[in-house]
Structure 1
Amino acid sequence: MEIRRSGNFGVIDTGTGRGLISFSIGGRGKGWEPSSIQLNRRGSFFSRKISVNGTFIVPMGDNNDMPGEVMRLLDKFYAGEGIMGKIAGLQWGEGPRLYEDAIDEENNRFYRRWKLDPKITADLESWDYTTVLHRSLVDLTHMQGFFIKFVRNRAPRIGNPGRFVRLEHIPYQKARLVYPPDGEDEPQEILVGDFPYPDPAYTYRYPIFDPANPFKYPVSVKYYNIYSFCKDFMSTPRFLGALDWLELAGGLADILISYNENASAISLHIESPQAYWDRAEERIKGVCAQTGETYSNKMLEEFKDAAMEKFASNITGRENVGKYMHTTKFWNTEANNFEGWTVTPLDKKIKDYVDAQIKISNKADAAATSGFGLDPVLSNLIIENKLSSGSEKLYSLKVYNASETAIPDMILCKPLQQYINANFPGTTTKVGLYRTIVEAEQNVSPSNRMKENA
């Protein structure tokens, strides 16, 4: 049996799995009431710079561990990584393809003329460019940015032309921008290590890649990101404002499991008369006077804990099932009222509690998908038991492709495009993500419909 008390209010965990018992000593209060709590709201990149191993960097979050915090929240939220995977899949389409810009003169519009370029493709495939690009996309969908390392050949050391050997993806949590020195507006270096607590022996500084002089450094790194409003240097996740909802949604399962296992709702409330404790204090003082011991308030507090624990043990436990308790009330002339011990069973309202948790869960799901910027129809979430029709999904997909893919496509393919431009100067070949246009079933010939090919 465990007792937790603050002043004259307390809660006893009987350890029997039958719930908690609240105490109100003095009988004048309203029982166990939570104190006023000031929430510790989550900040985002409020510190402009912090020192790590003697180097000033641009922190990721107040604790310099925003990627880790996002990872933990998404791992705990049942639909978190599922939704992020859906976003990455919608962005990726069928993957990167080569193209040239073209103009449809008849309709006066730009379009991409997809093409094959064996020479460029062979170069890219020599270092598995699709894996690098996909890992970068995962970082981009989670954190609105990613880090890429450019690795050059050694030829410029002996005066021969430079050429990139490969690009490497740097996991987002392992890189930080070095805060720009005095006189510079933008960071000039990137620190790579095991953040948020990197080992100095395995921490490396790299210059930032310069597209205007691509072969300047043997190895350079660049941070590519979608700009976040009023954020210096680093971008924040689109769903930053929904992190509290994600935390709430991720904790609902634990709450319900704990409730079912421990019946954690308070089951009984006991009120005791103040006169009882006044007489107890007088008895303790009398004993101290007889023994010569100095009285202290701690003695009364220990007596209160022991008395509440003993009283609770008499009304709980399997051996006391079916027993009843008799309490006596007496008239207190000073209080002008009856005083005595009272035990009040509390209605747990289990159905109301569970219904409330379900409503909170639905709200958290909706807030999360809104924060992710993905229609619940596309995220496979069932909000309030509503299933979406095929036409709704098709419409949402077309809206998403028209409004949410162009900017991430531009940012994601930028380092690959800079690689191609540097290794193949003068080329007009570009790289972009290819997506098949999804049409409604009624617009597809019967022989090519999905149900005919299932």
Structure 2
Amino acid sequence: MNIEYIGRDAIIDTPDVAFTYQVRDTPRDFYKSKSETNSLDWNNQCSYIGDYLVHPFGANDDLPDIIKETVQSNNIAPGILKKKTQLIWGSGPVLYKEKLVKTKDGNKRIRILQEDSDVEEWLESWEYQDYLLKACTDYQHIEGVFSKFELNKGSRIGTPFIAKIVHQYCDRTRLATEKNNKSRKATHAITSEWSFKNVQASTEFKVYPLFDFQNPFANPNSIIYSNMYSFCTEYYTVPDLYGSLEWLKGSTAVPLIFKALRNNSMNLKYHFISPQAFWDKKQKEIEANCVKATTPYSPKMLMEYQRLFLEKISVVLSGDENTGKYLHTTKSFTVEGANLLEHGWEIKVIDQNIKDFVSAHILISDHANHALAAGLNLHSALGNVSESGKSDSGSEQIYALKTFLQTGIDIPEFIIMKAVNYALKVNFPKKGLKLGFLHEKPEKEEAVTPSERIINK
């Protein structure tokens, strides 16, 4: 028996049957039920923990886990999402100031890169680049980022200051509302082991107030949720990846189907049909030989003769050195009443149609890859998902990159940098600095001199 795990689920293959099973977690006491499908109706659902109403992340409060398991078990999705992260990251984070300049077409807003030792020292003190990489990854998967602000110790008696920003895992953080809040607007964030994988951890939780933009130093610790608003969805974002989940599952199933085919299909080329009369005759011959030799007859003797006989036939039908050989058999007939019975060997060639089967599933996988790239809003030239399976032309890649930089950077950068830029504003109000990602303007190869084509690191 072979077991192929897909996250917590599995495909079981045996010689007689193949089936799948799905593992369901036992919900906590404060969860009354789980929906059979992961619908988009999250707003009207909630659960209670302490004095708070917890808003579920998905119909079954497991959307981050579903996306994680579906993406990580796929062969192309992690690469596409990583490529989008790399495109947004560009040459890395830099400090800048915004300035309006006059051009012949009107005013244009540009970024002027800055250096500031005080700000850079603060950023390095809490490893801001590691935080930003995690924030970029969260955004690409689920289009939202949870971050925790921690003030400096003694901020209530001294000058308040945001000491650091800590990344919060989206599968362990949920928005919540105080029970006496009639508006149901999220006022807090609760961190816990929501996936129930650790029973002890699932009973422990921490509550943090949401960051107050009007009074940023009101709480020593607070959480900010920066995200892309989804139409008519109040608390969390429905990521673009959600609509591609079924395509992802279909694409992931193709290699598993091929594996099951290799392990369990008979893959027969010939079908032998032997007459029972032939074996009855051989049985009598073996029994007669046993009588002459005064040895007892056993059915195993006939089975051994049959094995050796079929091995001789297999040698004739297989191997390059046996090309041109043939097998000769005879047929005999007996009459039983009005029926004419035929006795003889038959060898039939089996047409397995494996090529058609494999081609059909590869076509499904290719279409799933293109659907995924389209759903994630990444041009196939940038995601290495071309129609022909070959690399796209350089000019097509350049134009795709230009379009992405013009339309696909600003909003993601705003969401990813939201916590950092608010901290810069309250910590260094007079500097007017922001943090953003630096992107070089792509140029065609013929526009670059040979001496400039070397990549400097």
Check 1:450–1:184 CA distance in 2 against 1; reply closer, same or farther (3 A cut). Answer: same
Residue 49 of structure 1 and its aligned partner are, at CA, apart by 2.6
Residue 259 of structure 1 and its aligned partner are, at CA, apart by 0.7
Does residue 1:62 correspond to 2:74, yes or no? no
1-structure distance, mates of 2:362, 2:266: 18
* 2:210 alignment counterpart: 208
8 Å contact kept, 1:192–1:203: yes
2-structure distance, mates of 1:446, 1:156: 56
Residue 52 of structure 1 and its aligned partner are, at CA, apart by 5.2
Counterpart of 2:355 (choices 351, 354, 357) is 351
SS at match of 2:240: coil
**Aligned counterparts, 1:189-268, within 5 A:** 189-197=188-196, 199=201, 201-263=203-265
194-203 or 229-238, larger mean C-alpha shift: 194-203
8 Å contact kept, 1:209–1:220: yes
1:124 maps to a residue whose letter is L
Normalised to the residue count of structure 2, the TM-score between the two structures is: 0.71
2:428 maps to a residue whose letter is F
375-384 or 76-85, larger mean C-alpha shift: 375-384
Check 1:202–1:356 CA distance in 2 against 1; reply closer, same or farther (3 A cut). Answer: same
1:243 maps to a residue whose letter is L
Check 1:264–1:143 CA distance in 2 against 1; reply closer, same or farther (3 A cut). Answer: farther
* 2:171 alignment counterpart: 173
SS at match of 1:399: helix
1-structure distance, mates of 2:415, 2:211: 15
2:356 maps to a residue whose letter is D
Does residue 1:424 correspond to 2:425, yes or no? no
SS at match of 1:178: strand
Does residue 1:88 correspond to 2:85, yes or no? yes
* 1:163 alignment counterpart: 161
Check 1:48–1:347 CA distance in 2 against 1; reply closer, same or farther (3 A cut). Answer: farther
* 1:187 alignment counterpart: 186
Residue 123 of structure 1 and its aligned partner are, at CA, apart by 1.1
8 Å contact kept, 1:148–1:167: yes
Counterpart of 1:372 (choices 356, 359, 376) is 376
* 2:287 alignment counterpart: none
1:167 maps to a residue whose letter is I
8 Å contact kept, 2:53–2:177: yes
Does residue 1:51 correspond to 2:47, yes or no? yes
Q: Of the two structures, which has the highest relative contact order with CA contacts closer than 8 Å and spacing of 6 or more?
A: 1
Residue 391 of structure 1 and its aligned partner are, at CA, apart by 0.8
1:72 maps to a residue whose letter is E
2-structure distance, mates of 1:236, 1:179: 20
- Equivalenced residue count is 359
2-structure distance, mates of 1:90, 1:319: 65
8 Å contact kept, 2:177–2:184: no
* 1:120 alignment counterpart: 119
Residue 368 of structure 1 and its aligned partner are, at CA, apart by 0.9
1-structure distance, mates of 2:120, 2:15: 67
Check 1:266–1:217 CA distance in 2 against 1; reply closer, same or farther (3 A cut). Answer: farther
* 2:297 alignment counterpart: none
Please give the per-residue CA displacement for 1:333-381, whole angstroms capped at 9, x wherever unaligned: xxxxxxxxxxx99854211111101110111110111111111111122
2-structure distance, mates of 1:411, 1:442: 36
Normalised to the residue count of structure 1, the TM-score between the two structures is: 0.71
2:393 maps to a residue whose letter is S
8 Å contact kept, 1:95–1:434: yes
1-structure distance, mates of 2:38, 2:175: 22
CA RMSD, Structure 1 to Structure 2 (Å): 3.5
Check 1:349–1:190 CA distance in 2 against 1; reply closer, same or farther (3 A cut). Answer: same
98-107 or 142-151, larger mean C-alpha shift: 98-107
Check 1:418–1:358 CA distance in 2 against 1; reply closer, same or farther (3 A cut). Answer: same
1-structure distance, mates of 2:86, 2:380: 15
SS at match of 1:206: strand
Residue 385 of structure 1 and its aligned partner are, at CA, apart by 2.5
